[in-house]
């Protein structure tokens, strides 16, 4: 996860919990592909094997 961040003069960033032990490799791949295709303009080509190798 990521700890809370405080920045002078701007809105603070809240803590974000980690999901490494909560989501399966398949679920992480699906999420990555959604984000890549929807927001990144990238092909949805992440596989569960890719996630497993990166963990």
The four Cα atoms 13, 42, 49, 16 give a dihedral, to 10 degrees, of 10
Q: Could you tell me the residue ranges of all domains in the chain?
A: 25-54
Looking at residue 33, what is its pLDDT?
Answer: 97
3-state secondary structure of 38: helix
Query: In this structure, are residues 29 and 50 in contact, taking their beta carbons and an 8 Å threshold?
Result: yes
Strand, helix or coil for residue 15: coil
Q: Is the pTM value of this prediction over 0.85?
A: no
The per-residue pLDDT for 19 is 80
Predicted confidence (pLDDT) per residue in 1-55, tens digit = 778 888 888 887 888 888 878 999 999 999 999 999 999 888 999 999 999 999 8
């Amino acid at each position: 996860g990521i700890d809370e961040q405080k920045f002078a003069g701007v809105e603070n960033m809240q803590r974000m919990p980690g999901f490494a032990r909560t989501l399966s490799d398949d679920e992480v791949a699906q999420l990555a592909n959604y984000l890549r295709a929807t927001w990144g303009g990238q092909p949805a080509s992440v596989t569960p094997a890719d996630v497993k190798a990166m963990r």
